[in-house]
Amino acid sequence: EAQVTQNPRYLITVTGKKLTVTCSQNMNHEYMSWYRQDPGLGLRQIYYSMNVEVTDKGDVPEGYKVSRKEKRNFPLILESPSPNQTSLYFCASSLSRGSNEQFFGPGTRLTVL
Amino acid sequence: SQQGEEDPQALSIQEGENATMNCSYKTSINNLQWYRQNSGRGLVHLILIRSNEREKHSGRLRVTLDTSKKSSSLLITASRAADTASYFCATDIISTGTASKLTFGTGTRLQVTL
């Protein structure tokens, strides 16, 4: 089944404790991205990747890192999480350009205490 | 403010009625897309309309695009309880280079009651 998976789905952590949210797609998509969703603000892009080893900042990249060593994986790293990073996070992928139809993962609900 | 803004923010209708939601944007676009999100879940792509298209249909969905007014509408006909969800428009903004991204609005929350 074609899908985007994220892990974990739910995470409660404390300020400053490094964490990684994994994202994997099995559709051989070149383009992958991370969004965060907050009430009243819609979805905002954090980082995106056009292909392996090619990543770039989105609208709200501060406090996040990403890597794209393999085509299928695009982990999101929070080196030192803070409470303002409490949010619902979505990974998405698309065939090539970001303007194609995007396929979303199920989301990761992160709470930073 | 957001590139794409949906209106209304919330809409409540009865099953069988039509639901119309609107999206306005600020800058020129390559295309505009509509997505649906069931509570707390990932977004699901519904339809894409390119800047040179004016109307598109998919099942019970009808999307229009007016580039002169920088606006789009999504019509869901004969709504069902299962259509209850949030609906987002996303715009692909014309920019230089090969990189592109979608900019999402804040969504319209649709409630369809029996």
- Token pair 């923010």 is found at B9
Higher pLDDT, B103 or A16: A16
Chain A hits for B108, CB-CB cut-off 8 Å, are none
Percent of chain B scoring above 70 in pLDDT: 90
> Which residues on chain A are in Cβ contact (under 8 Å) with B102?
45, 98-99, 102
Closest chain A residue to B30, measured at CA: A99
3-state DSSP assignment of residue B105:
coil
pLDDT at residue B96 above 60?
A: no
**From residue B18, how far is each of A69, A88, B14, B78 by CA, in Å?**
47, 30, 9, 5
Is the pLDDT reported for residue B1 higher than 90? no
The residue among B30, B43, B48, B56 with the most chain A CBs within 10 A of its CB, best to mutate, is B43
How far is B50 from B66, CA to CA, in rounded Å?
11
pLDDT at position B62: 98
Average pLDDT over all residues of chain B: 91
Q: Give the residue with greater pLDDT, B101 vs A87.
A: A87
Shortest Cα–Cα distance, A44 to chain B (Å): 7
Tokens 């803070």 sit at which residue? A82
Residue B98 has pLDDT above 60, yes or no: no
| pLDDT at position A84 over 70 | yes
Q: How many CB atoms lie within 10 A of CB A41?
A: 13
Beta carbons of A107 and B99 less than 8 Å apart: no
